[in-house]
Amino acid sequence: MAEDSKPRVRVPRSATAGEAFEVKTLISHKMESGQRKDADGNNIPRSIINHFSCDFNGENVMQVTLHGAISTNPYFQFEAVIQESGTFTFTWNDDNGSVYTDSKDITVG
Amino acid sequence: MKKITLSATLAAGLAIFAGSASAQVDLDAVLNVEGMDITTRAPAADFLDIDEVISGWVYRTKETQALQMDDFENPGMIFVDIAMDDWNTVDGSEGKSCASCHTDGPAEFAGLRAEMPRWNEEKGSLFNMEDYINLMRVEYMGAEPLKWAKPRMDAMVALISLQSRGDTINVAIDGPVSDIWEQGQELYFTRVGQLDMSCANCHEDSYGLMIRADRLSQGQSNGFPTYRLKNAKLNSIQARFKGCMSNIRAEPYAIGSEEFRALELYVASRGNGLSVEGPSVRN
């Protein structure tokens, strides 16, 4: 259970066109670096979130490639500017092939 | 001559530390979580030798304090989300989840954390949150009990503690628990381990001072389970006791032992008047 990855996202419900606002994302993940060894001296295989992207109405806003040195529960905070209402979609890609997504609607008013 | 120089240097060093200590702790900092004011200082109970009980939150740095004031920034809330999934997951021979019986959700337990641990009349023993969770799992769900101080258990304790956030700690110390409470008090003031220290040496005599690079708090348990930046996970009260005992080079009691149960009750009662903070953030 506790090993499951769970995304959390905070986007304001509404924003002003052309004005920057804050987006925060966080996903629970153990981010095993691949550098550690278990009690028997065997390598623990790398298991991390290797890619994150944020899209708005199908258009890419930002993407990040993650590497082995990023600590547990990766957190991103960035600013975005939009001109119209729509939906943010967030995607995290896991080394094991899983894809975690979340989406948030935002209104320009 | 050399000796005199050394002690003079030491004295100067101590003075610097004492000066910076008072400069850094802001006793008037206000803990406001998502718009809710939380009591971090309260008059101490009569049985204590201190005047005021102070939440460990006060002794953390501004940055760590800020993490707890926003549920998004609080990494402990990740585990609350995970526990919420667990809440809805069917487990055991009866084909039930927590949600099957507790139809109003975890909110049914509002206020419970503030009274824990407490006497369970039916079972005739002192119960803490872990005991209640496992009682439900075994007797009503037909499921395996969860192991104490493991992620799944700590997350569930955090979910239930969260329902009482802001409630005033009010742990009963009289009646059937009075003997256990006395035992807990005894343990709190008994020096143990190679460093020959008791809980009180740090948390009653020396709170607010630096212990190496860390600032001593009163060791209050109102914020547990606590997300620690040190190990990036939730920590239960008794796991923290174990860590403290290792630090003073004592042989820790087992998690779930009679000794730790008694100590948990006594420490919880020292925090009467503070607010439930769990899951809190500490370093």
Residue B9 lies in a domain: no
| pLDDT for position B267 | 95
Residue B38 lies in a domain: yes
Sign of CA dihedral B228, B230, B234, B237: negative
Same domain, B272 and B139: no
Q: Give me the mean pLDDT over the B153-164 stretch.
A: 94
Cβ-contact B264, B220 below 8 angstroms: no
Final residue belonging to a domain, choices B112, B128, B162? B162
Q: Would you call B35 helix, strand, or coil by DSSP? A: coil
Same domain, B141 and B98: yes
Element spanning B212, H or E: none
Q: Could you tell me which of B146, B143, B164, B144 has the C-alpha nearest to residue B155?
A: B146
Residue B1 lies in a domain: no
Cβ contacts of B91 on chain A, cutoff 8 Å: none
Which single residue is written with the structure tokens 């979580």? B33
- A-B interface: how many C-beta pairs under 8 angstroms? 36
Amino acid at A46: R
| Partner B, chain A 19-48, Cβ-Cβ below 8 Å | 24, 26, 28
Contact: B78, A8; criterion CB under 8 Å: yes
Contact: A1, B89; criterion CB under 8 Å: yes
* Residues ≥6 apart with Cβ < 8 Å to B190: B198
Same domain, B273 and B178: yes
Residue B58 lies in a domain: yes
Same domain, B211 and B153: no
Contact: B86, A4; criterion CB under 8 Å: no
Same domain, B55 and B43: yes
For chain B, how many structural domains are there in total?
A: 2
Cβ contacts of A72 on chain B, cutoff 8 Å: 232
Residue B23 has pLDDT above 80, yes or no: no
Residue B10 lies in a domain: no
Cβ-contact B192, B245 below 8 angstroms: yes
Q: Which of A1, A28, A29, A33 is best to mutate for the B interface (most B CBs within 10 A)?
A: A1
Same domain, B150 and B209: no
Query: What ipTM is given for this predicted complex?
Result: 0.71
- Separation in Å, CA B186 to CA B48, B242, B263: 13, 17, 9
Q: What is the CATH number of the domain that holds B190?
A: 1.10.760.10
Same domain, B178 and B140: no
Burial of B226 from C-beta contacts in 10 A (0-12 / 13-18 / 19+): buried
State how far the Cα of B147 lies from the Cα of B149, in Å rounded to an integer.
7
Cβ-contact A45, A31 below 8 angstroms: no
Contact: A28, B82; criterion CB under 8 Å: yes
Cβ contacts of B85 on chain A, cutoff 8 Å: 1, 4, 6
Amino acid at B119: W
Final residue belonging to a domain, choices B108, B131, B162? B162
| pLDDT for position B55 | 94
Residue B3 has pLDDT above 80, yes or no: no
State how far the Cα of B273 lies from the Cα of B42, in Å rounded to an integer.
6
Same domain, B268 and B175: yes
Same domain, B229 and B259: yes
Residue B62 has pLDDT above 70, yes or no: yes
CATH superfamily label, A7-108: Immunoglobulins (2.60.40.10)
Residue B14 has pLDDT above 70, yes or no: no
Sign of CA dihedral B233, B238, B242, B245: positive
Nearest-5° angle of CA A73, CA A92, CA A44?
55
| pLDDT for position B21 | 45
Mean pLDDT of chain B: 88
Contacts 24+ apart (CB under 8 A), B143-151: B143/B91, B143/B92, B143/B93, B143/B94, B144/B92, B148/B236, B148/B238, B148/B255, B148/B256, B149/B235, B149/B236, B149/B238, B149/B239, B149/B242, B149/B255, B151/A1, B151/A2, B151/B79, B151/B233, B151/B234
Closest alpha carbon within chain A to B91: A1
Q: Which of B34, B71, B72 is best to mutate for the A interface (most A CBs within 10 A)?
A: B72
Q: Could you tell me the residue ranges of all domains in chain A?
A: 7-108
Residue B207 lies in a domain: yes
Between strands B36-38 and B41-43, the pairing is unpaired
The number of residues in chain B equals 283
- Separation in Å, CA A35 to CA A29, A45, B202, B230, B231: 16, 8, 37, 20, 18
Q: Give me the mean pLDDT over the B230-240 stretch.
A: 92
Does the CB of A1 have a partner CB in chain B at under 8 Å?
Answer: yes
Contact: A2, B82; criterion CB under 8 Å: yes
| pLDDT for position A3 | 55
Residue B33 has pLDDT above 90, yes or no: no
Same domain, B148 and B178: no
Same domain, B207 and B251: yes
Q: Which domain holds residue B225?
A: 15-74+167-282
Residue B156 lies in a domain: yes
Q: Give me the mean pLDDT over the B166-174 stretch.
A: 93
Residues of B annotated as catalytic are: 244
Q: Give me the mean pLDDT over the B122-134 stretch.
A: 93
State how far the Cα of B41 lies from the Cα of B27, in Å rounded to an integer.
8
Q: Mean pLDDT per segment of 10 residues, for chain A of length 109 residues?
A: 72 91 90 91 92 93 91 90 93 92 91
State how far the Cα of B197 lies from the Cα of B245, in Å rounded to an integer.
9
Same domain, B221 and B183: yes
| pLDDT for position B30 | 87
* Residues ≥6 apart with Cβ < 8 Å to B60: B215, B281, B282, B283
Nearest-5° angle of CA B96, CA B147, CA B118?
85
Question: Per-residue pLDDT tens for A68-92?
Answer: 889 888 999 999 999 999 999 999 9
- Residue A47: phi and psi, rounded to 5, are -150, 95
Cβ contacts of B77 on chain A, cutoff 8 Å: 8
State how far the Cα of A45 lies from the Cα of A43, in Å rounded to an integer.
6
